[in-house]
Structure 1
Amino acid sequence: LQKFQFDCIGENLTDNEKGIAGSLKEFGLMLEEVATDWSSTIERSELQLIKPLEDFRKEHIHGYRNAKKSFDKASERYYKQLEHTLGLSHKKKGQHLQESDNELHAHKKIFHKEALNYVYKLQEVQERKKFEFVEHLLMFMQVYFNFFHQSHETANDCKDYMKDLQMRLVSTREQYEGAREKTKTLMRKMSDHPEAAEDSAGSGMRWFTSKWTKYFCMYTKENKLFQMLTPYHQPTSAISLNQSTSSSFVEPMIVKTCTRRVTDSIDKRFCFDLEVESGKRSLLTFQAVSDLDRRKWMSVMDGREPEYIPTKFKLDENGFRVIEKVIAEIERRGVEHEGIYRLVGVLSKVDFLLQQAVNPATCDSVDFSNESEWEINTLTSALKSAFRNLPEPILTFELHRDFINAAKPKSAFIPSAFLVEETENLNHQEAPSEPTVPNSQSTEEDESTSPGKTPTSPGKTPTTPSFLWGANDGPTSRPRSSAVVKSRGSRSPTEEVTPTVARTLFSCAGEHPEELSFQPGMLIREVERTEEPGWLRGMLNGKVGLVPENYIEFI
């Protein structure tokens, strides 16, 4: 007893706690004086001392262990659901994300309840043992001193001390009763309003790149101090395998700025960036547990929204040099990549590449040939973004037909049948850049709907007006094409088409006000030939306009 010490919660002990802790040493000194008689009566201590302490152990200490087991199970379920929810991409369906968030909220409530109960049981055992353990010892001393006639004088000398100790025990019990009621009231308030938070500080679980390590973070608004602590939690998945089971402390940092992370710039949800000052400035990315939690963090740290400032691009000397380098690099790597322009690169990397390229101070340091740093989709997206952000468009719709006509061969036009044949040949080849069906159709439509060319519909071979081969010439170099170009319902361009009725075979969207838009199966009346080969004029729903000849059949 003289060497026994109480483990206390907190830094400083009150006078009553010091007196209660020191009482055990006094009791040890008293017992030394009656050691001879004590050995003969120790067997009778079962009912006066051992049994009450055993009841205290079974009732309170075992209750604390059960509360700890419940807390560990609730903690396991909550962190498992938390990792699952934060691992979901923002591209998932809204309903799926909402269900996951609701399930996380339910586990969070259970986790908070079990955590509070665990702390309460721990505090209860620590407080009760201060007076109950000593009370049993005191009763033991009082009972046995009645039988110790030899130690009667010793007992009289201890009366004053024992009275003072009794008063301390009563005072400690009263303080415990009052603190217990306040604790229960505070627990109810925290359970009823878990979202309440102070304006001057914030705390909670956060995920931190680049390995997405889990931290318990605290922030104090007065001094802008940000602290991170690895929580006590056994790793349950691959995302936490790099964490130690014991808590580790990270050096506190001073927050300079807080900015919400752009959604498209990262695959994770609820992210925000912190610019901190720890020896040198650095940018850290954190993930909150929910959108509401992120708004609270940004509110307490005076966070701001990201600035959407597109990179201005000009076709000056530096701009032309950048365009030439990007195109040369794309051609060097080859255009056989699938979806080379359809698949977009990461927005943040594209913006960073353009910012470095257009800046005269850093343009020479950009290495476009570094495939590990600049993927092919990043280069193609940068090329598209450069043309998109020009002050004036490089190609207006007004000059569209002029550019098309200027690109046509002067001697003869490329037959649409040749394109169909080449498309069929490509379909039998195994190439990385093999066009998909929609891309093939769009290619044929571009060729078929160009001014001065016979329109070619998907799934239907083109007609053979005279301008395909010339006025008198036939297909001398490709005899196979003469059989291909003969299509169902085609007519010689020299035939006169009398006003009649035709049925549409395919859908068509007019690119100009003079062209008609229609769906398959619609009737076009008063159809007649126009001066432009491959185009007819008809009436649909009271509107007169141009119709591609290969998109209809006469009835």
Structure 2
Amino acid sequence: MGHPPLEFSDCYSDSPDFRERLKCYESELERTSKFLKDVIKDGNNVIGAIRGYSVAVQKFSQTLQTFQFDFIGDTLTDDEMNIAESFREFAGLLQEVEENRMMLVQNACDLLIKPLEKFRKDQIGVTKERRKKFEKESEKYYSQLDKHLNLSSKKKESQLQEADDLLDKERQTFCESSLEYVYQIQQVEDRKKFDIVEPVLAFLQSILTLNNLTVEMTQDFLPYKQELQLSLQNTRNHFESTREEMEELMKRMKLPNPIFIRHGQQPTIEGYLYVQEKWALGMTWVKYYCKYMKDSKLLLLLPTEQKPATKQIPVELTLKSCIRRKSESIDKRFYTPSPLLLMCSRFLWMEAMDGKEPIYHSPIHKQAEMELNETGFKFVRRCINVIETKGRTSEGVYRTVGSNIQVQKLLNAFFDPKCPGDVDLNSSEWDIKTITSAMKFYLRSLSEPLMTYTLHRELISAAKSENLDYRLGAVHSLVYKLPEQNREMLELLVKHLVSVCSHSCANLMTASNMGVIFGPTLMRAEEETVAAMLDIKFQNIVVEILIEDYKKIFSGPPEESLVPPLPPPRAAPRRRQPITISKRPPRHYSGLQPPPSSPPSSSSSSVTFSHFLFFTSIFSCSFQFIVSIFIIFTFILFFCSSSKNRYS
């Protein structure tokens, strides 16, 4: 079970649940740091053992080189000459092998140790520094908040205003520190998927190319390596696309005093409040974490201060009215939802509790939303015609972005209400990247995404399934639940993308690359949250399925009897089809499939791990022990990594 995503909005509420989730991420970070430390230590031990073994073999080679057979007589037979030269041939062979091995040892630190140490320093180290800053700012903010208990209600308005401003400033600094820390810790969790596996993969590859045995093993390993490199590249692409979205969201969350109203969810507002309680000898202020649900007018108070010999339970109250006390009776910062006296922020809680509608706003100022109408269809068809005529083989088509000024000029001209569609896209004024960017902008600016908000969760659930047949069948079925206009536009677009991907050798745009580009365009989420952004990679998978299975999906609606049932819940790590290599016994690589460009022949058989052990027995006992132990250790690392981050 993975960790739930940390929402940026929780940085402002700083609830106990948020702190608990943050501790889970911090524990995982410490576990990763310890794991890297052990890998670096064991890697250095392996490198040292290989270096010692190589030095011993070179010394043995030198001994063979210095020995010469003596002979009797003045002429040697061919056999004798071969025998006399044998030690020097042996020595030359060993020397050549060990020279390659020493080159491996010299590069081992650059391949394995330095990247892992760099990740610990640049990623985990930076995250720990952000954590220290977050804890420091947290302590300062709550210390400043506690000082408000001692503020006298007799102070002047200017003094109270100054205290309010100081508290708001400390809160803003604390929230910015919290946002940066949450952003950094989630980036480390994503980056480790490829920044840790790649160095180990590179080091393993260098070991497997030492001699004829390792060359043979490298041939067997190539399908596995190619598929793994492809998975790493796809994860990096999803990460890059997700990172940009998350950076934008974080910047918007840094705006002063944002209000977080979640559609269809509770609570409306939450945070820490001080409640005035009467005691036998006077009154005191007690801190609570409060949640107010506007729809039900329910106020939930969770005690945060421990009272001796008292069992503290949450208190639920129904709000009848919220009245701000007059300045002559008490500080303006205090509000009374009778019979409680609360100390809180002057504006946010009043807006939420005084009966007014909450502020729903989006920090994104979008341009006028476009509609899926006849003009839109005309625009997309013209764009596709121009692209397929002039730019289908252009390298990086759809990845290369056009000028924003030109894109807006084209859209304004084409969607002009006075003369819509009166633009010649074949004109030299519009280049291919401007047309592709304009078409992507139009699709992303629709009032509702092409694949609709209603089906969004079902499509994401289908992409997350480990059953490939169910995944395809579910997407096929859901496509025909789209409105007719949406399905017609989707078929028009996907047919074009299939045509573009058929020229991937020239334009370098595969179905996977198209999924990264069009996933967020066709399936954007209704709410911009971190959880929604983490689903972008599954949106990409849906588009990839549409492209790869275009003929089957759009040939007609699926028969109900052919739609596969929902697969049972995942019980164990998945194993895909085994990689097959000609003239070898079977060997299974967990979590990977052979590349589609190199299907196995009918006469080929698979390679087993026992065959690998058989080959290594050719080497000396010392080398067999060292290489076997290291490769087993490395494969265990790969299996653990793929079981946690498998391609769904």
Place the TM-score, normalised by the shorter chain, in its bin: 0.3 to 0.5
Normalising by structure 2, what TM-score? Answer: 0.34
Report 1 or 2 for greater relative contact order, CA contacts < 8 Å, sequence distance ≥ 6.
Answer: 2
Of structures 1 and 2, the larger Rg is shown by: 1
Normalising by structure 1, what TM-score? Answer: 0.39
